[in-house]
Chains A and B, each alone.
Chain A
């Protein structure tokens, strides 16, 4: 089983370099990162502030473009796509969960969940969506507006939306950043069970060792470089690893 899942990558970047600005003010946010995110796995990207973890996620997901190197979703190289194709790729093959402002305030819960499908004009897999709604536990809230939900509930809606179109990979950017620990735990549990039960792929950026501990593997970034990977992380192990970076840097 392990062989089957590790040989297939859902997303990867090769020699990724991202430079912001020019001349003296240029910042190398990514400095030659090569990393692949295996399908059917929950991967966390960790690193201190400014390590380039958000940039890595944005470039891998097709939200941003690399200065050099390549980014792939499945077998598609993102650099060859124009804005329209990139948008369609995001719509059909990628899901997103952000830290905040994750839902459209004018749409109901149900409409928010099916938004990417509606945008493409597809009917979507009703059974799958129904199952998702069951998993996130919002069946009685389907016709509410986001403003009538708690922060945790809103984020669960965002998770359901991210998986609604059966994307190849879901990117989550600090999904628990705005939540208390109980709601955060629920959201992470959801992501994890989505990966386990339905064979989805999730890539999550976080700076919280507890959150990272829910992942199958943690990728550590520092100063725009990949510095370490850790299988089956626990909060303590991740915290120790992060402390080690701090010591090296200081």
Chain B
């Protein structure tokens, strides 16, 4: 063993506790990262297995070849196929069975009158396929639906809605249908396909409620006879299918389903988690760097002695690097084990919170182990590198010097560099937002701002701590004053400790500000463009929910209180070669309940060949009133529409508006997403709302909201996202706190003599504890304030950069940010607890002993 290695080993043995914080920081970061990767792989593999199992009896799927995908949607819309094709398919040699599969949206109403699901995952309804091998769902209890009104639901959905066999409830298709549950089903051995709810009806019911016309099905599932492979089956089917209809193998269909879940849910989910483990590791970097920097500073005398005795710079540096490597390797290895533990824990936890996690072994790929291990080691070594080089530079004479107060952080060079960086960051960001809008420029500016904050930290820390701590002298007397000065002692160290928390707090405030701004934007949108009195909608987002019955708008319109009730439906078509969402409505009524801005032309007479377009879309495609545009529908039909109106505001009305008459030949399941209602003059708002609610109760009881309520609930998903983000950021904040605690513990070790003296001349233990705690709170306060400022700035950048500047509102939520600040301070007090206790336990005599 060479000298450097021997030195670092003995140092590690002697100072195990000093590295506990570093170890924990690396461990947590790596564990989170590895856990995320393992869980992602496991979920993906298990969904594969689940789909494979569920659809193993299906050898081929017949469906429309073309799908139209609109932006922001991963799954395209396909035209249904005719059920008459079943007969054709059955006649093909080698086909054992074929069944139409009708799919639509159908949301169950639970025993408590509230809709089941709809918060993201789809709420599906379809025909119960009688051939058990072709049906991905298996009957687990009860019987299959035999008569109209009888349904089978997946067990997960039944449990969630507290429904059982024999119960009668409502299925929103979106027209309310009274159904009786006669059976419960499972999917691939689980209570459901993740959170997706499924209701299986008789084929006649399904055709009646879920398709635009009877005799249509989404797909046809085909089972092969013995000795026929899936490939052979597809090859035999293809020639008999009409144009625009294709056959794919069952395997491919299962794969597409898995990919759909992967891209819609898993990828987003894991990417999200990976981003947060990245943040956690970034925060960890600061903590680790600080620990090594302090340990090196404390070892100055020892290193100087070694240098005086003839150790080379390289040997000293190497000793520190080896030390860091050992910590990195052990912590990362432990982190891998922890990550597997996290994944296993989540696998157990998910079913407990009602999320059927497909069963199966954990999938541990080499990459999911190698990557976190590498990241952990790189982070740890990278953080230790600078301190190690500094250790090597120790002058042999340093052994004889006494260093009391370190002023290194506040150098002029640093201040100038930091300010230059800050100016550059501001310039880049402003250019990216205001001058030539570019997300890239704004992003570069944001990153520069972060760097500027970190560089300026030590310069700012002196002033900031002095200002933040100024009430302490008055409040806590000499104890507070000492705390403040201790926090001022080493600006660089204080800044590095605070930086970790600063980043955590910055990300929290960034999301808080972004969320509040999104809400403000929605509020602004609704109040600006919604001119009606109440809005009727179903509380759902994502792919869930089934929308509103198209009859609802008409029924509400008949009320004596109501002036106009207009339903907005959704259609898709390809315009200019790209999938676009169409708003299907009564354009005349639309103009009365929505503020569409300046309208060129008229929405009055669109007819079946007229279309209204927003100003932005019209400009982009160089269209004006009178020009024509070609729309291609899912059924393959291409139709030329004349632009009859160009309107200014698109927030609620969408970019393209066509009439119901124009859409109906191409429609699938019919539903509205929103019914906007305006009352007659002199009608009391409360009375009007009550009247509308009464009608709505007959149509599956959707939500009736005033303009203000509607604006609020449009932002409902944002709060849920924020909650999740906060939960994930707790890890980063925890690591930052570990950093503060660790730095304090090391600082206390460094100040043993001083603390001993204070105790000797009469500082009580509680005064000593208070002093350490206040120092911790001050450091946390500095980090929190910096984080709030940085987070607000980044939030502003994100808001302005993510949406063409003009339409989005920027809002700073004062209450939430005060809460964030308080949490930061409380966290500081918490982090100081243990070091304070340890400092108070100090033996006075040992502390003041001259050597």
Residue pairs across A and B with Cβ atoms less than 8 A apart, 11 shown, are A63-B760, A87-B765, A90-B761, A90-B762, A91-B762, A95-B761, A98-B760, A105-B404, A111-B481, A145-B404, A147-B404
The answer to whether A121 and B477 touch (CB under 8 A), given A100-B850, A105-B754, A106-B485, is yes
Instruction: Tell me the minimal C-beta distance from B254 to chain A in angstroms.
Output: 69
Closest 6 CB pairs of A and B: A91-B762, A118-B478, A106-B485, A105-B404, A101-B753, A147-B404
Are A106 and B757 interface neighbours, CB within 8 A?
A: no
Are A107 and B485 interface neighbours, CB within 8 A?
A: yes
Are A119 and B757 interface neighbours, CB within 8 A?
A: no
The verdict on B845 contacting chain A, using a C-beta distance below 8 Å, is yes
The verdict on B399 contacting chain A, using a C-beta distance below 8 Å, is no
Q: What is the count of residue pairs linking A and B with beta-carbon distances less than 8 angstroms? A: 83
The verdict on A104 contacting chain B, using a C-beta distance below 8 Å, is yes
Are B757 and A98 interface neighbours, CB within 8 A?
A: yes
Q: What sequence of 0s and 1s flags, for each residue 744-765 of chain B, a beta carbon within 8 Å of any chain A beta carbon?
A: 0000000001100111111111
The verdict on B848 contacting chain A, using a C-beta distance below 8 Å, is yes
Nearest chain A residue, comparing its CB with the CB of B487: A106
Are B489 and A106 interface neighbours, CB within 8 A?
A: yes
Instruction: Tell me the minimal C-beta distance from B491 to chain A in angstroms.
Output: 13
Q: What sequence of 0s and 1s flags, for each residue 472-504 of chain B, a beta carbon within 8 Å of any chain A beta carbon?
A: 000001110110011011000000000000000
Interface residues of B in 719-741 (CB under 8 A from A): none
Instruction: Tell me the minimal C-beta distance from A230 to chain B in angstroms.
Output: 26
Q: What sequence of 0s and 1s flags, for each residue 105-123 of chain A, a beta carbon within 8 Å of any chain B beta carbon?
A: 1110001000110111100
Interface residues of A in 62-115 (CB under 8 A from B): 63-64, 83-84, 87-88, 90-92, 95-96, 98-107, 111, 115
The verdict on A161 contacting chain B, using a C-beta distance below 8 Å, is yes
Cα–Cα, bound, A104→B850 (Å): 15
Cα–Cα, bound, A63→B759 (Å): 9
Q: Which residues of B contact A (CB under 8 A)?
A: 404-405, 477-479, 481-482, 485-486, 488-489, 753-754, 757-767, 844-845, 848, 850
- A-chain residues with CB within 8 Å of residue B764 when the two chains form the complex: 84, 87-88, 91, 119
Instruction: Tell me the minimal C-beta distance from A66 to chain B in angstroms.
Output: 13
Instruction: Tell me the minimal C-beta distance from A196 to chain B in angstroms.
Output: 24
- B-chain residues with CB within 8 Å of residue A92 when the two chains form the complex: 762
Are B850 and A87 interface neighbours, CB within 8 A?
A: no
Are A115 and B478 interface neighbours, CB within 8 A?
A: yes
Instruction: Tell me the minimal C-beta distance from B462 to chain A in angstroms.
Output: 13
- Residue among A84, A96, A98, A99 with max Cβ neighbours from chain B (10 Å): A98
Are B762 and A116 interface neighbours, CB within 8 A?
A: yes
Total interface residues on A, CB under 8 Å, equals 35
Cα–Cα, bound, A116→B767 (Å): 12
Q: What sequence of 0s and 1s flags, for each residue 144-162 of chain A, a beta carbon within 8 Å of any chain B beta carbon?
A: 0111000000000000010
- Residue among A84, A90, A174 with max Cβ neighbours from chain B (10 Å): A90
- B-chain residues with CB within 8 Å of residue A145 when the two chains form the complex: 404-405
Given A98-B760, A174-B850, 12 more contacts at CB 8 Å?
Answer: A63-B845, A90-B762, A91-B761, A104-B482, A104-B754, A105-B404, A106-B486, A107-B485, A115-B761, A119-B479, A119-B761, A120-B762
Cα–Cα, bound, A90→B758 (Å): 11
Instruction: Tell me the minimal C-beta distance from A155 to chain B in angstroms.
Output: 13
Are B753 and A58 interface neighbours, CB within 8 A?
A: no
Nearest chain A residue, comparing its CB with the CB of B761: A116
Instruction: Tell me the minimal C-beta distance from A9 to chain B in angstroms.
Output: 22
Contact of A101 among B405, B477, B848 (CB under 8 A): B848
Nearest chain B residue, comparing its CB with the CB of A121: B477
Are B404 and A63 interface neighbours, CB within 8 A?
A: no
Instruction: Tell me the minimal C-beta distance from A200 to chain B in angstroms.
Output: 16
Instruction: Tell me the minimal C-beta distance from B485 to chain A in angstroms.
Output: 4
- A-chain residues with CB within 8 Å of residue B477 when the two chains form the complex: 118, 121
Are A105 and B765 interface neighbours, CB within 8 A?
A: no
Instruction: Tell me the minimal C-beta distance from B769 to chain A in angstroms.
Output: 12
Nearest chain B residue, comparing its CB with the CB of A87: B764
Cα–Cα, bound, A105→B757 (Å): 11
- A-chain residues with CB within 8 Å of residue B753 when the two chains form the complex: 101
Are A88 and B765 interface neighbours, CB within 8 A?
A: no
Are A87 and B757 interface neighbours, CB within 8 A?
A: no
Contact of A98 among B479, B767, B848 (CB under 8 A): B848
Nearest chain A residue, comparing its CB with the CB of B488: A106
Cα–Cα, bound, A161→B489 (Å): 23
Nearest chain A residue, comparing its CB with the CB of B756: A101
Are B405 and A104 interface neighbours, CB within 8 A?
A: no
Cα–Cα, bound, A104→B753 (Å): 9
Cα–Cα, bound, A102→B760 (Å): 10
Contact of A87 among B405, B486, B762, B845 (CB under 8 A): B762
Are A64 and B845 interface neighbours, CB within 8 A?
A: yes
Instruction: Tell me the minimal C-beta distance from B666 to chain A in angstroms.
Output: 79
Are B757 and A101 interface neighbours, CB within 8 A?
A: yes
Nearest chain B residue, comparing its CB with the CB of A161: B761
Cα–Cα, bound, A76→B839 (Å): 28
Instruction: Tell me the minimal C-beta distance from A159 to chain B in angstroms.
Output: 13
Nearest chain B residue, comparing its CB with the CB of A90: B762
Are B405 and A58 interface neighbours, CB within 8 A?
A: no
- A-chain residues with CB within 8 Å of residue B488 when the two chains form the complex: 106
Instruction: Tell me the minimal C-beta distance from B286 to chain A in angstroms.
Output: 24
Are B482 and A87 interface neighbours, CB within 8 A?
A: no
Contact of A104 among B757, B765, B766, B767 (CB under 8 A): B757
Are A88 and B762 interface neighbours, CB within 8 A?
A: yes
- Residue among B481, B485, B489, B761 with max Cβ neighbours from chain A (10 Å): B761
Nearest chain B residue, comparing its CB with the CB of A114: B478
Instruction: Tell me the minimal C-beta distance from B748 to chain A in angstroms.
Output: 14
Are A96 and B760 interface neighbours, CB within 8 A?
A: yes
- B-chain residues with CB within 8 Å of residue A115 when the two chains form the complex: 478, 758, 761
Instruction: Tell me the minimal C-beta distance from A218 to chain B in angstroms.
Output: 22
Cα–Cα, bound, A35→B98 (Å): 110
Are A106 and B405 interface neighbours, CB within 8 A?
A: yes
Instruction: Tell me the minimal C-beta distance from A47 to chain B in angstroms.
Output: 17
Instruction: Tell me the minimal C-beta distance from B778 to chain A in angstroms.
Output: 13
Are B763 and A102 interface neighbours, CB within 8 A?
A: no
Instruction: Tell me the minimal C-beta distance from A182 to chain B in angstroms.
Output: 21
- B-chain residues with CB within 8 Å of residue A106 when the two chains form the complex: 405, 482, 485-486, 488-489
Nearest chain B residue, comparing its CB with the CB of A98: B848
- B-chain residues with CB within 8 Å of residue A87 when the two chains form the complex: 759, 762-765
Instruction: Tell me the minimal C-beta distance from A222 to chain B in angstroms.
Output: 21
Are B754 and A119 interface neighbours, CB within 8 A?
A: no
- B-chain residues with CB within 8 Å of residue A101 when the two chains form the complex: 753-754, 757, 848, 850
Cα–Cα, bound, A63→B849 (Å): 12
Instruction: Tell me the minimal C-beta distance from B245 to chain A in angstroms.
Output: 83
Cα–Cα, bound, A101→B756 (Å): 10
Cα–Cα, bound, A147→B757 (Å): 17
The answer to whether A105 and B761 touch (CB under 8 A), given A63-B845, A100-B850, A118-B478, is no
Cα–Cα, bound, A189→B465 (Å): 42
Nearest chain B residue, comparing its CB with the CB of A99: B850
Instruction: Tell me the minimal C-beta distance from A107 to chain B in angstroms.
Output: 7
- B-chain residues with CB within 8 Å of residue A119 when the two chains form the complex: 478-479, 758, 761-764, 767
- A-chain residues with CB within 8 Å of residue B479 when the two chains form the complex: 119
- B-chain residues with CB within 8 Å of residue A120 when the two chains form the complex: 762
Nearest chain A residue, comparing its CB with the CB of B849: A54
- B-chain residues with CB within 8 Å of residue A111 when the two chains form the complex: 478, 481
- A-chain residues with CB within 8 Å of residue B761 when the two chains form the complex: 90-91, 95-96, 115-116, 119, 161
- B-chain residues with CB within 8 Å of residue A105 when the two chains form the complex: 404-405, 754
- A-chain residues with CB within 8 Å of residue B482 when the two chains form the complex: 104, 106-107
- A-chain residues with CB within 8 Å of residue B763 when the two chains form the complex: 87, 91, 119
- B-chain residues with CB within 8 Å of residue A95 when the two chains form the complex: 761
Nearest chain B residue, comparing its CB with the CB of A91: B762
Nearest chain A residue, comparing its CB with the CB of B485: A106
- B-chain residues with CB within 8 Å of residue A161 when the two chains form the complex: 761
Nearest chain B residue, comparing its CB with the CB of A103: B757
